[in-house]
Amino acid sequence: MSADANSQSDVETVVETVVEVQKLLNKIGEFVLHRELDFEVRAGEVMTLVGGSGSGKTQLVRVILGLKRPSAGLVRVFGVGWDDPSYARVRAARERMGMLFQNGALYSAFTVYQNVAFPLRERGGLDEEAIRAIVYAKLAQVELEPKHADLLPASLSGGMVKRVALARALALSPELLILDEPTAGLDPDRSDAFVRLIKRMRSEYRFAVLMVTHDLDTLHDLSDRVSVLADQHIIASGSIDEVRSVPHRFIENFFGGERGRRAFTAA
């Protein structure tokens, strides 16, 4: 066990809201990207964030991950703000999240094994034998074989890269998994397979998911709730049906277009 394992149990409180963003102001230089933005992800749910390209979805994820400091407003993950003075609390909250980034999913100089082992080594407290057991178990969960462990990312297909990145995101058994465009760049079959995989993992582990996607089929298959980012803030939040009925240009185009009709009538 790591030196601060005991202190972690003190600070891991059970919260119903795993992500809480209130009145966020987020500027990039003088440019205001988010203003008066409220957003939440509840324990165990799949919350899908949609919005036009460049509307600031990835940047919002970066703020939630603590990679970007907001200009004003409240951001809490598992009840902890990234400016919390307790390093143990911040670290414990960080280790309860797993992230699958939109681009550059894997470390290109590391093998599959080293990529999945990375967060386990970062956390510390495990010997190589324990790390190996977890890495191979995670690879099996995402339907990769042991023989793939020594490959470098450059020799993997797009679908395999996503699955290795998912194995890495799940290495610490997170309670919140963040997925930024998880099916972008995959063909429809691979995309369906990836959605099935996430569904299956969730039915086993019940983690919450914050997912960014443009893909209506993925949204339809996975979401419990949807939030729409437009005009610098969240303009609608709720079930798919609740959100679809909100009168707004982006919502009408996104859900009401030909793609939207196909995704929502096929079920």
Instruction: Check if the beta carbon of residue 100 is closer than 8 Å to that of residue 210.
Output: no
CB of 177 to Mg ion, least distance (A): 17
**Closer residue to Mg ion (CB): 53 or 265:** 53
Instruction: Check if the beta carbon of residue 52 is closer than 8 Å to that of residue 84.
Output: no
Bridging pattern class, strands 31-42 and 208-212: unpaired
**Closer residue to ligand ATP (CB): 56 or 159:** 56
- Which among Mg ion, ligand ATP, none contacts residue 54 (Cβ within 5 to 8 A by kind)? ligand ATP
The residues in 69-108 that bind ligand ATP, with binding defined as CB under 6 A, are: 102
If you count them, how many residues does the chain have?
A: 267
**Closer residue to ligand ATP (CB): 8 or 227:** 227
CB of 54 to ligand ATP, least distance (A): 4
CB of 263 to ligand ATP, least distance (A): 18
Instruction: Check if the beta carbon of residue 164 is closer than 8 Å to that of residue 84.
Output: no
**Closer residue to ligand ATP (CB): 59 or 141:** 59
For 184, the token pair is: 């972008």
Block residue for tokens 């967060």? 119
**Contact positions vs Mg ion (CB under 5 A):** 57-58
CB of 93 to ligand ATP, least distance (A): 22
Size of residue set near ligand ATP by CB under 6 A? 11
Q: How far is it, in rounded angstroms, from Cα 252 to Cα 244? A: 7
Within the chain, residue ranges assigned H as helices are 5-11, 57-65, 87-95, 112-123, 128-141, 158-169, 188-205, 216-222, 240-244, 249-256, 258-265
Torsion of CA 202, 171, 218, 42, to 10 degrees: 60
CB of 146 to ligand ATP, least distance (A): 34
CB of 117 to ligand ATP, least distance (A): 29
Considering only CA atoms, which of 116, 105, 256 is closest in space to residue 185?
105
**Hey, is 46 helix, strand or coil?**
strand
Q: How far is it, in rounded angstroms, from Cα 31 to Cα 168? A: 34
The residues in 133-172 that bind ligand ATP, with binding defined as CB under 6 A, are: none
- Which among Mg ion, ligand ATP, none contacts residue 56 (Cβ within 5 to 8 A by kind)? ligand ATP
The residues in 40-59 that bind ligand ATP, with binding defined as CB under 6 A, are: 51, 53-59
CB of 191 to ligand ATP, least distance (A): 16
- Which among ligand ATP, Mg ion, none contacts residue 51 (Cβ within 5 to 8 A by kind)? ligand ATP
**Closer residue to ligand ATP (CB): 60 or 116:** 60
In the complex, which residues of this chain contact ligand ATP (CB under 6 A)? Answer: 28, 33, 51, 53-59, 102
